[in-house]
Amino acid sequence: MEKISKTLDILAEYFNYTERTTLNRMRNPEKISSEKNKDFLEKPNAFKILIACLLSLRTRDDTTESVSEKLFKIADTPEAISKIPLKKLEKIIYSSGHYKKKAKTLKYVSRELINKFNGKVPNVKEDLLSIKGIGPKTANIVLNFAYQQPTLPIDTHCHRIPNRLGWIKTKTPEQTEIALEKILPKKYWKEFNAIFVLFGKTICQPVSPLCNQCPVNKYCEKIGVTSNR
């Protein structure tokens, strides 16, 4: 447990807080020093966080940000998005990749929010998961980033790295969420996703991680790492 806390303290210090990820900046707009995308990041907004999260699937963070910004200038409520013709929506979000599927999901989720939740994004996990298109990671992002609930959104980085570090031994993100809930002190839950996403993109990369530059090298068991730099 001490090793886990030490590792997380080092990583939190290593990765600058305010400039981490798009979703993280949407959660903490008041901490942003630059004027960049000021309107896009005006205040935490559960619907915008949900939509940006859906747009972020399998795409780069800077693309998510520019596509979200473009979309929210045209439509930033469930009502407005549900009214955009599908083809037009596809065109708006085209550069986020998988745009046909994402456009359908955005419209479906918006309609479900209107029909089942009075146009509001629910703050209960079961309610979020009852909407097709919202999976555990997205639900946890919304609860954590929009509603300040302690949850652990697990993406590929958040699943891979704790296994490499030797904290857990799991095969799926769902198993990782349950395993981490048992061993991760709650004070780290809020920041865990943002830190590990950035860590996984820059240093503990999927193939050949940069162990020589890693600030937590001495605390890592490097489980399953066959080559590194």
CA of 45: how far to CAs of 63, 80, 146, in Å? 19, 15, 6
Q: Quick count: other Cβ atoms within 10 Å of Cβ 70?
A: 15
Q: Which is nearer to ligand SF4, 78 or 162 (CB)?
A: 162
Q: How far is the CB of 228 from ligand SF4 (least distance, A)?
A: 6
Of all residues in the chain, what percent are helix, strand and coil, respectively (each to 5)? 60, 0, 40
Minimum distance between the CB of residue 195 and ligand SF4, rounded to whole angstroms? Answer: 12
CA–CA distance, 195 with 158 (Å, rounded to integer): 9
State which residue, 55 or 204, has the beta carbon closest to ligand SF4.
204
Q: Considering only CA atoms, which of 72, 25, 79 is closest in space to residue 51?
A: 72
Nearest to 8 by CA among 202, 205, 195: 195
Nearer to ligand SF4, 37 or 156 (CB): 156
Minimum distance, C-beta of residue 205 to ligand SF4, in the bound complex (Å): 8
Nearest distance in Å: CB 16, ligand SF4? 18
Min separation Cβ 227 and ligand SF4, Å: 11
Output 175 or 228, the one with its CB closest to ligand SF4: 228
Q: How far is the CB of 160 from ligand SF4 (least distance, A)?
A: 9
Residues forming contacts to ligand SF4 in the complex (CB under 6 A) are 161, 164-165, 203-204, 209-211, 214, 216-217, 220, 222, 225, 228
Residue 9 or 30 with smaller CB distance to ligand SF4? 9
Residues 56 and 22: beta-carbon distance below 8 Å: yes
Judge whether 197 and 157 are in contact, CB under 8 Å.
yes
CA pair distance 122, 111, nearest whole angstrom:
14
**Beta-carbon neighbour count of residue 214 at 10 Å?**
19
Nearer to ligand SF4, 20 or 160 (CB): 160
**In terms of CB distance, is 72 or 192 closer to ligand SF4?**
192
Could you tell me how many residues make up the chain?
229
Phi-psi region of 173 (alpha: psi -120 to 50; beta: other; left: phi over 0): alpha
Tell me how far, at minimum, the Cβ of 209 lies from ligand SF4, in Å: 4
